[in-house]
Structure 1
Amino acid sequence: MNFKNILVPMDFSKCAKSAFKMALTLAKRTGASIDLVSVTHIPHLHAEMVGAASIVNPILNDYHNLIDEQFDELIKTTESEGVKISISKYNAPLHDAIYSCTLQNESDLIVTGTKSQHDWLVNLLGSNSTDMIERSKIPVMVIPEGLENNNYKKIGVAIDYADFDDPSMLEPLRAFAELFESALCFLNVTTKHHKLFVYDDIKVGISAYFNDLKQSFHTYTDSRPLPEILLEAIKDLDLDMLFMLPKNHTTLQRLIKPSQTKSMALQMDKPLMTIHEKKT
């Protein structure tokens, strides 16, 4: 797989600019283009309301002019030479706009930023970035605010061997790791000590799929919450990035059980890449 078009949601915040810098690094290595997407959502006024267009249109025009100025300034002050950059502006709910832009421009990766600090409501309900992880059909890379290090020498790969049987779905991860000559540290957490050797065939398949990259396998027999274990592993193994496979939960499951991937995205100070598991 080669990254050909990278989508970057842009609200000109510090975390969005960090995501743009990461996208530029990838684009320069792969020859990919970048689509910067700005979204506003002014609800459509009822058609029967007199003068609705005269109220909304000037607001949108002024807003789009301001956005154009900010885009010009962003590109001028960033090392973007040699990278094809397009700009898309939408008046729509964020996820509708991202979905439409993904289809129209055939994007194969979303790079989005996340703030370094979150209030209690974001921690409870999630952010725009965590919503993209949950909804996106293409890989998502979440970049922490203010990240300056684009060195990805060691990538942690959190995999539940019990639910994994197709290494080929990790193709975007392999493409990324090959770009940066990354070593892969496969992380598995289980509380069932008697199953430590049950999944050896799975590990052999994974090892064969990534046979041209450095690999190591780490199993944690621990009953603590998964995010706590993974955060400790990131520190102990000195990882530069974490990869996770979000599960396809039903709406009821999402309400009852918090997403482990969402929790990691909100707590990490390192990049997180996700690819949704295949639907059965």
Structure 2
Amino acid sequence: MEYKKILVPMDFSDCAKNAFNMALEIADRTGASIDLVCVTHLPHLHAEMVGAAAVVQPLLNDYHQLIDEQFEELKQQTDLKNTQVEMSKYNAPLHDAIYSCALQNRSDLIVTGTKSQHDWLVNVLGSNSTDMIDRSKAPVIVVPENSKIKAFRRIGVAIDYSDFGDPELLDPLRTFALLYESSLCFLNVTTKHHKLFVYDDIKVSISDYFKELKQSYHTYTDSRPLNEILLEAIKDLDLDMLFMLPKNHSVVQRLLKTSNTKSMALHIDKPLMTIHEKTLKS
């Protein structure tokens, strides 16, 4: 695949600007254009309500004017080089706006920021970034607020070999890794020691698919929580990014179990790249 259009949700916070800077770096390598999505969500009052338009429209106009001013300021503060940057403004829920913009403009990649600290409610229910992981039809890179990484020397790839068959599902990762000539560290966590040899054929097919890149394979055989193991691997292997494939859980599974990918997005201090399993199989 190619990265031709990158979508960045933008509220002009330091967190969003940091994600924008990473998107610019990727765009500089690929020649991609960038769509900034700016969202407000004023209530749509019933048309029959007297004076509804007179209340909402001036507020919306003022907010859009503020967005335009912030956008111009952002362009002046940033070295855009030869990157084409456009802005779309929506009065809609954030996820609806991003989903619509991604489909209309056929975005190939979403780069979104996430704050370094989350309150208990976000840890339980998730954040805007974690919801994007679940809904997006394009690969998503979640950039922690304090992450300034620009060269992805080593990327960790968390894979469950017992539920993986086609390396071509990792095409978005392959495209990204080739851009940076990254080394790939494939991480497998299992407690089934007796089945390790069964996965040799899968490793061979993965190795062949990523033959242009340096690779290493790491298996962790313990019963600790997956997120704890992955966070330790990021530190021990000096990784600059983690790649994960979120599973297509049922409604019941979502209620009973927290997504490992979403949990990592809230706690990792390095960029996290994901593409949803349901998208790859569609």
- In the other structure, the counterpart of 1:29 is 29
CA contact (8 A) 2:111 2:141 kept: yes
- In the other structure, the counterpart of 1:130 is 130
List gaps (5 residues or longer) in structure 2: none
Residue 71 of structure 1 aligns with an amino acid whose one-letter code is: F
- In the other structure, the counterpart of 1:84 is 84
- In the other structure, the counterpart of 1:205 is 205
Query: What count of residue pairs does the alignment treat as equivalent?
Result: 280
Deviations 1:123-150 (A, max 9, x none): 1111000000011111000001032221
Deviation of 1:271 after TM superposition, in Å, equals 0.3
Deviations 1:147-168 (A, max 9, x none): 2221100000000011111111
- In the other structure, the counterpart of 1:8 is 8
- In the other structure, the counterpart of 1:121 is 121
Name the stretch that deviates more: 246-255 or 103-112: 246-255
Aligned CA RMSD, in angstroms, stands at: 0.9
Q: Percent identity?
A: 75
CA contact (8 A) 1:14 1:146 kept: no
State the alpha-carbon separation in 1 of the partners of residues 255 and 66 from structure 2.
Answer: 38
- In the other structure, the counterpart of 1:58 is 58
State the alpha-carbon separation in 2 of the partners of residues 14 and 163 from structure 1.
Answer: 38
CA contact (8 A) 1:109 1:138 kept: yes
SS, match of residue 197 in structure 2: coil
State the alpha-carbon separation in 2 of the partners of residues 279 and 106 from structure 1.
Answer: 18
TM-score by length of 1: 0.98
SS, match of residue 34 in structure 1: strand
CA contact (8 A) 2:146 2:269 kept: no
TM-score by length of 2: 0.98
State the alpha-carbon separation in 2 of the partners of residues 81 and 61 from structure 1.
Answer: 31
CA contact (8 A) 1:248 1:279 kept: no
Residue 146 of structure 1 aligns with an amino acid whose one-letter code is: N
State the alpha-carbon separation in 2 of the partners of residues 227 and 149 from structure 1.
Answer: 21
- In the other structure, the counterpart of 2:44 is 44
- In the other structure, the counterpart of 2:167 is 167
List gaps (5 residues or longer) in structure 1: none
Residue 58 of structure 1 aligns with an amino acid whose one-letter code is: P
State the alpha-carbon separation in 1 of the partners of residues 142 and 80 from structure 2.
Answer: 20
For residues 229-268 of structure 1, what are the structure 2 equivalents within 5 Å? 229-268=229-268
* Runs of 4+ in structure 1 over 3 Å off: none
